Amino acid sequence: MSEERQQGEERREAQEPGGETPASAGQDNKNVCPECGGSGKVDPETTCPNCGGTGKVEAVGY
């Protein structure tokens, strides 16, 4: 089994019943905002303008 396929299997097994991956699953999310690094803030008092404070961005180009 390829390494990528095995990682996918492990992620699928780690998912909770609601289909949400638990926080302990790691931070390999590819949709993390590149400007704030997923925190939603560019500094302690300013919300990130790129993601609107969510820490995530929409994947485009697929």
pLDDT of 27 = 54
Specify burial of residue 48 (Cβ count, 10 A radius: 0-12, 13-18, 19+).
Answer: buried
pLDDT of 58 = 86
pLDDT in tens, the chain (62 residues): 577 777 767 766 665 555 555 555 555 557 889 899 889 999 888 999 999 999 999 877 65
Q: How far apart are CA 6 and CA 27, in angstroms?
A: 17
Query: Taking the model in full, what pTM does it have?
Result: 0.47
* Cβ contact 57:34 at 8 Å: yes
